[in-house]
A and B are shown apart, each in its own frame.
Chain A
Amino acid sequence: MTELLIPPLETDAPPRTPGRYRFGAPPWLLVLAALCAATAAIPLVYLVVRTTEAGLTELLDTLMRQRVLQLTVNTVLLAAAVTLSCLVLGTVCAWILTRIRLPFQRTLLLVSALPLAVPSYLAAYGWLVWFPHLNGFWASWFVMTMVCTPYVTLPVAAALRGASADLESVARTLGRGPLRAFAAATWPQIRPAAIAGALLVCLYSLSDFGLVSMLRFQTLTWGINAAYGASFDRNQAALLALVLVVLALVVVAGERHSRRQVSSVPGRSTMPARAPGRTWPVYVTVLLAAPLAGVVVPVVGLLTRLLEAETLRAIDVPRLVEAIGATLGLALAAAVIAVLVALPIAALAARYRGRLVAVIEAVGFLGHALPGIVVGLSLVFFALAAVPMFYQTSLVLVFAYVVLFMPRAIGSVRSGIAAVPTSLGDVSRMLGLSPFQAWWRVTARLALPGIAIGALLVAISAMKELPATLLLRPTGISTLATELWSRTALFEFGAAAPYAAALVLVAMVPAVLLSGIRGTAREN
């Protein structure tokens, strides 16, 4: 379960192992990886092509429209507010988790990571069940903050645990008080992690569609969907998507930049946790705020609705089963294809260095920066223009999942491969194996857990994906997420409950599998 709770932040900062080859990558691998990475670039490239087709003047005209400006301001405001509140709450939670000796520390850490497992629109649905009239900026801000806080808590807690306490002790002996010593000595050590986490929050709130739509706060993602739905103005949808992508890319660039600044300070000792005394309820309350608001309230709301007699009677079993089947099938296909496409990129990135390798890897990670609704929209255009026979087929939808979630696959497959020492490959070559045999019998065999984790992460994400699914699903096919969304949009909270519950249960399958994956080294 813990693997599931680790945000993508961890997986895309790979350990740079010394086990790399000093010589350049073989050309065939470079070409293959470049081709795979290129698929990830299709949505963005096509979106740019599509918008520029409209012409620059029209572009600027639309851009300056009142409506577009309003949506952009809303989006930025929400993202900024959520980022700020997550940064504060997350840092405080991380500090409590590492510096205060509370009972059940590991459990508390796990619990504070829980909101990551709940899709934002599910949390919004859960709150709507309790308060059907909840809507607007403050509601969106509150629920989004509760859902996103772990993206700050987890990396900051990790950084705090790794931060050297020596510096803080030195600052204390030089006459600083506890708070000033923390600010002077420890904050600089955890700042990169905090900022990287905060920017991740920013990216998520920019890209979020389900939560803001359900809580009726009009952001760019909502606007894109609305403009697309009003099919006479698809140019405006494309343009809004472009604005959103630019915002997202700026945030991602900032996140990458801040992550590079992580530097380790020598010193092994860590700050001892201190006993909380009589103030412990305060600490526990702060810690549990996000899990309570982000998980417990929605899930309890969902369950009460589900167990109402009226709901149980009204469950459309065949339709529910069909949605479960569609969700599982699509997720499985996406997982398999995403891992296959990620494999060459991950193998390249794990073993070789160089500018070209870095570019290929970065392009593979593009999906990380692209909001789901943008990928969905762009692929609608792309399918209509380039491969009309595939428009409205599952193929395009699976492709969207692959683009969106390939970064997760690349991340874990790469760490899996990088963990296999290159000397094992050398040894197998010297013992008579061809490069492919050595790869198959040794490297792939040992990297298998990483590959499987990558596939499961993609599957989980694909099951919960909403906006791209809404745009791309073939007529007549509904997933659990789209069923939940369409019912909630019509205020049919009771009818939505079975789908929400099924989604939670189905998404637990890969999570349980994940917790079962162990290393493959022989252990007696």
Chain B
Amino acid sequence: MGWVAIEALSVSYGDTRVLDDVSLRIPRGSLVAVLGPSGCGKTTLLRAVAGLLPVASGTITVGGRLVTGPGVQRAPEKRGMGWVPQDASLFPHLSVGENIGFGLPRTKQNDDLYCEPGETSGGVGGLLAGLTRRGRVARAPVRVSAPSSHLAAAPISPDRSRQTSRAARITELATLVGLTELVDRAPSQLSGGQAQRVSLARALAPRPDLMLLDEPFAALDPLLRSALRTEVAALLRGQHNTSLLVTHDQEEALSLADFVAVMRGGEILQFGTPADVYERPVDPWVAGFVGDTVELDGHWRDGRVECALGSLAADWMGVQSRSERSSGGPMGERGAASAPADGTSVRVLLRPEWLTLGARGSAQPTTDAVVTAIAYAGHDALVSFALADAEKTAVRARIAAPDLPRVGDRVTLGICQNALAYPLE
């Protein structure tokens, strides 16, 4: 576990601390999304992992190889990571094919040998490797003859150690991203989605140990965005890539990632599976950030909460110790913190889709309510209700389109899941 391990990473710009003691473990072959509002430090985290900016403290290891640590700051070009920036950033002076092949070594004597960038052997050859093209050539045989000199020598897939010709690799990747006919085009002739595919192919070409994606879909229009991200996620999984994706789009993070890290103000608040993050958020802010919520005031009584919706079965989501929260590993079943004393004021939280129309399927007591407004979204609608017992309290439910009531209808509301109870701030 933890192909990529980030431990206690801190980054500062001048006096401002942008990342504060961030830890994250990325299992091999998984796609981890870092989700947070703009300015939360997620892009900084990505750039620190890439080696594109200096860190104040902390360590980063990839496959057992230390790339950032005390006194160690491996150059970005020697980390063996792939980088897909937000705006694709294709080289405007090169064709699509040349862009894809940019990271593949090109030599006069040995044009077709493909070796891995980012892995250097020690000694003079390694020193030269970053500076000269000849260094790369010198590096290739070393790698083949003495693979055991690398800590990270274990290949991800069988073809990883195979030497492929440069041209063949370009064709392979162009095919992979579905742009075979466009290899001779100029980047200026591509659409936004095509450019982003080329950018992805370019990053994948040198077979990186870790793919870093910096909001790669943010600049695309919504329709294209959802189509492309599904495709890209499938592609990354198909290549058995370990990937770190940064995004501010909740839907993107939840739908694509194996694990989601929610960030705010330079700290990771929660790390877990998408379902874990959505259904068991660590605090109301995370809950509100990853989706719509229904929030009510209530009192804790013996495993239940008493609130405007009645007495509901609830899970206590009290504060865990910070060390436990930021240990970095994906948390499956969270160790339940000890429940509070009866009568404690709590914040009750539900998801709008946990509310159902009618008593059927309800695991909880039902409530009568009046429909006050409907925000129609096609596939479903967010329906606002005023509760019969407490008219000032408004709740919202996500109702599938065919079952929609009308404004003014009197309905019975059921609840199909345990409510979440949080301590008051």
Contact = CB atoms under 8 A, between A and B. Distances in A.
A446 interface: yes
Contact of B75 (A22, A421, A434, A522): A434
A308 interface: no
Contacts of A435: 75
Interface string A428-469: 111111111100001001100000000000000000000000
A524 B52 contact: no
Given A432-B77, A522-B188, 14 more contacts: A423-B86, A426-B85, A426-B89, A430-B52, A430-B77, A430-B81, A430-B83, A431-B117, A431-B202, A442-B91, A521-B92, A521-B93, A522-B95, A524-B189
Contacts of A437: 130-131, 133
B60 to A, nearest CB: 15
A427 interface: yes
B89 A421 contact: yes
B92 A522 contact: yes
B203 A430 contact: yes
A79 to B, nearest CB: 44
B94 A23 contact: no
Contacts of B186: 521-524
A250 interface: no
A523 B136 CA distance: 31
A520 interface: yes
B376 interface: no
26 contacts: A22-B53, A23-B13, A421-B87, A421-B89, A423-B86, A426-B85, A427-B199, A428-B102, A429-B51, A429-B52, A429-B76, A430-B76, A430-B212, A431-B77, A431-B102, A431-B103, A431-B117, A431-B202, A431-B203, A432-B77, A432-B105, A434-B77, A445-B93, A521-B186, A522-B93, A524-B186
B50 interface: yes
Given A434-B131, A446-B92, A429 B75 contact: yes
A22 B13 contact: yes
Contact of A446 (B47, B79, B93, B117): B93
A432 B93 contact: no
Interface string A22-41: 11000000000000000000
A160 to B, nearest CB: 32
Closest 6 CB pairs of A and B: A432-B117, A431-B103, A430-B83, A522-B186, A521-B92, A434-B130
Contact of A523 (B51, B82, B105, B188): B188
A430 B188 CA distance: 22
B54 interface: yes
Contacts of A312: none
A73 interface: no
B89 A429 contact: no
A284 B75 CA distance: 62
B89 to A, nearest CB: 4
B352 interface: no
A179 B187 CA distance: 50
A423 B118 contact: no
B185 interface: yes
Interface string B189-208: 10000000001001100100
Interface in B131-152: 131, 133, 136
Contacts of B51: 429
A275 interface: no
A436 B52 CA distance: 15
Contacts of B91: 424, 427-428, 442
Nearest to A522: B186
B189 A424 contact: no
Contact of B118 (A432, A436, A446, A521): A432
Contacts of A442: 91
B94 A522 contact: yes
Interface string B104-133: 010000000000011000000000001101
A520 B187 CA distance: 12
A428 B54 CA distance: 18
Interface in A391-424: 421, 423-424
A442 B212 CA distance: 21
Contact of A423 (B81, B89, B102): B89
A123 to B, nearest CB: 42
A433 B77 contact: yes
A432 B103 contact: yes
